[in-house]
Structure 1
Amino acid sequence: MPENRSSSPRTRTPGQWSFTRWVTLGHLEALEVHHPLFSATLVLQGAHLVRFAPADETDWLWLSPTARFEPGRAIRGGIPLCWPWFGDPSRNPPAVRRHALTHDAHGFARTALWALADVRESAHEVEISLSLNANQDFADLWAGRALALATFRFSVRGVELALTTTNLSEHPLAFSQALHTYLPTADITRTRILGLGHSQYIDTLDDWSEHTQYGPVYFTGETDRIYESAEPLQVVTPGRTRTLTAVGSDSTVVWNPGPEKAARLSDFPDSAWKTMLCVETANAGGDYRVLNKGQSHTLGVLIGRK
């Protein structure tokens, strides 16, 4: 199991918080928000949002019923942050691949311990920021230096997540990333995604070949695609529609493990593929980003109602 690491200590001072409190989930520390208009749970390991719901509504995110909250273990569900590379390092462009010093998928941020940077509350929203200083503590995993700042803004309209990367090294920094959003559905076969029509995509299950999407995206089995698109999306499931509006992204990943892969996944019930999907706001494939010294880039998504 990988070691849980952080480059700076976590801030514990609660200040004058009215709606936010410290809690423990399994063996991990988290921030729990109980606002009259909404609730949310944010785990410090990975800056991982595992729950968000407006008052009197069910969870807008999907979390595996067998998810485990353990140091160094990625949490199955919610919104994992894949950073500073997305997917298999060997499948990334050479400029990104050169910085990855491990074969582990999706980078190290999702199992690292992030530091609390700020909590702001009002009558209408709560904003929480967590930071990760990827310095020499991660030198055996990554040949780079950067500061990652994850800001979560909760309101009755929805949840907004912004991940800002600042290059702290003397040299250009190439990286890929994704906000790996898990969404629930009552039936994956009656679920569709609107907004990707006429987009080009890479089908990773078809030898990474390129295709064109015609009409909505439907699910008939295992799906793993990287779309070249920055358009607002609608995820239509039985009984509800969610909108995803991205910033700083020209790529979208659509994923569902299907029955065979689901049976091989950890912390994932065999039949769970029927009730979830992932729509990931990304900088993946050819949409990777390069920052010069001191430059920053923000990847963000607003998950809202139709």
Structure 2
Amino acid sequence: MSESSNKPPVSVTPGQWSFTRWQTIGQLEALEVHHPLFQATIFLQGAHLTHFSPRDQSNWLWLSELAKFQPGRAIRGGIPICWPWFGDPARNPPEIRKRVHEPTAHGFARTALWRLEDVRESAHEVEISLSLNANEDFAEQWDGHALVLATFSFSVRGCQVALTTTNLSRQPLAFSQALHTYLPTADISRTRVLGLGNSQYIDTLKDWEYCTQEGPVYFEGETDRIYESGEPLTVVTPLGKRKLTSVGSDSTVVWNPGPDKAARLSDFPGNGWQKMLCVETANAAGDYRVLNEGQSHTLGVLIGRI
């Protein structure tokens, strides 16, 4: 499937859906879910979830007011999928680094065009699955062959995102990844993350120095840390509380750009850093994964109520 195709790649037959509709937003195709109990928006580019909200609530995800919806351009906000490498390729383990042929951070999945595989609806839940066949079409960017399936499950209780990677090559496949979840807050200075106390973390702003977290994570300017933990987390903001429960992960990235870096980021409002934080379910740093031929691994996060 060519990334330049104008028609959405579909392997299911539309028409039987009660709550899900195609929508063109900017220059991109998206699926919008208008269920009596909740709403959601997923773009085929990047299998990118930008909106989820139970009925009569605001978006549980932060989406930049300056976000652009253009082919080949990553969307700022929501839950970008970072795959098959996370962050700077040069900071990845050698087994991953040797496969990467470009310096771009966070891999190519977040700007690739995914294929719609399935839409399942009920009175209480909607589940949508999209796939990416990372084959020779991506040879200029990466050396590997894998199938990635992104499954989104929505209900009044919350939303779940699961990313399953299957190695289709004959050689072992090493990769790192993250569900780069952006969350909203009314005030980053009155925001904290619970559940990472006593965890070791890499502080990427201190030349990747190892540190130990004491108590909750607070934000005092730019923050960029890779925690060696996959434990359930509670994010507390003036807007309320959210619980994040991960599967297939032993690393968590906590990020806020602060004022200086925010000014350099694309599609990012000048004061946007005060209204958001990222808590990312990951397989990053030493938590990268290796799959033998035919093996699969699922990384997932459930964002729920407290």
**What SS does the aligned partner of 2:226 have?**
strand
- AA partner of residue 99 (structure 1): R
Question: 1:10 is matched with which residue?
Answer: 9
Note the 1:50-89 alignment, pairs <5 A: 50-89=50-89
Measured against aligned partners, the alpha-carbon deviations of 1:18-63 in whole angstroms (never above 9, x if no partner) come to 0000001100000000000000000000000000000000100000
Question: 1:93 is matched with which residue?
Answer: 93
Give the Cα–Cα distance (whole angstroms) in 1 for the partners of residues 270 and 237 of structure 2. Answer: 21
Q: Report the TM-score when normalising by structure 1.
A: 0.97
**What SS does the aligned partner of 1:197 have?**
coil
Note the 1:163-178 alignment, pairs <5 A: 163-178=163-178
Question: 1:222 is matched with which residue?
Answer: 222
Give the Cα–Cα distance (whole angstroms) in 1 for the partners of residues 178 and 171 of structure 2. Answer: 23
Structure 2's unaligned 5+ residue stretches are: none
Q: Which runs of 4+ in 1 moved over 2 A?
A: 3-6
- AA partner of residue 9 (structure 2): R
Give the Cα–Cα distance (whole angstroms) in 2 for the partners of residues 95 and 226 of structure 1. Answer: 19
Question: 1:264 is matched with which residue?
Answer: 264
Give the Cα–Cα distance (whole angstroms) in 2 for the partners of residues 185 and 194 of structure 1. Answer: 15
Measured against aligned partners, the alpha-carbon deviations of 1:150-176 in whole angstroms (never above 9, x if no partner) come to 000000000000000000001000000
Instruction: Kindly state the Cα deviation for residue 99 of structure 1 after the two structures are TM-superposed.
Output: 1.1
Are the equivalent residues in 2 in contact too, given 1:233–1:244 (CA < 8 A)? yes
Question: 2:180 is matched with which residue?
Answer: 180
Note the 1:95-110 alignment, pairs <5 A: 95-110=95-110
**What SS does the aligned partner of 2:280 have?**
strand
Instruction: Kindly state the Cα deviation for residue 4 of structure 1 after the two structures are TM-superposed.
Output: 4.3
Give the Cα–Cα distance (whole angstroms) in 1 for the partners of residues 100 and 124 of structure 2. Answer: 41
Are the equivalent residues in 2 in contact too, given 1:193–1:216 (CA < 8 A)? yes
Question: 1:251 is matched with which residue?
Answer: 251
- AA partner of residue 63 (structure 1): L
Instruction: Kindly state the Cα deviation for residue 15 of structure 1 after the two structures are TM-superposed.
Output: 3.6
Structure 1 vs Structure 2: percent identity of aligned residues? 76
Give the Cα–Cα distance (whole angstroms) in 2 for the partners of residues 113 and 61 of structure 1. Answer: 22
Structure 1's unaligned 5+ residue stretches are: none
Give the Cα–Cα distance (whole angstroms) in 1 for the partners of residues 236 and 32 of structure 2. Answer: 28
Are the equivalent residues in 2 in contact too, given 1:5–1:112 (CA < 8 A)? no
Question: 2:198 is matched with which residue?
Answer: 198
Give the Cα–Cα distance (whole angstroms) in 2 for the partners of residues 82 and 54 of structure 1. Answer: 26
Question: 1:145 is matched with which residue?
Answer: 145
CA 1:5/1:90 → structure 2, altered by over 3 Å: closer, same or farther? Answer: farther
**What SS does the aligned partner of 1:109 have?**
coil
Question: 1:294 is matched with which residue?
Answer: 294
Question: 1:30 is matched with which residue?
Answer: 30
Cα RMSD of the aligned pairs, angstroms, is 1.3
**What SS does the aligned partner of 1:84 have?**
coil
Give the Cα–Cα distance (whole angstroms) in 1 for the partners of residues 234 and 101 of structure 2. Answer: 37
Instruction: Kindly state the Cα deviation for residue 9 of structure 1 after the two structures are TM-superposed.
Output: 6.9
Give the Cα–Cα distance (whole angstroms) in 2 for the partners of residues 13 and 27 of structure 1. Answer: 23
Are the equivalent residues in 1 in contact too, given 2:8–2:29 (CA < 8 A)? no
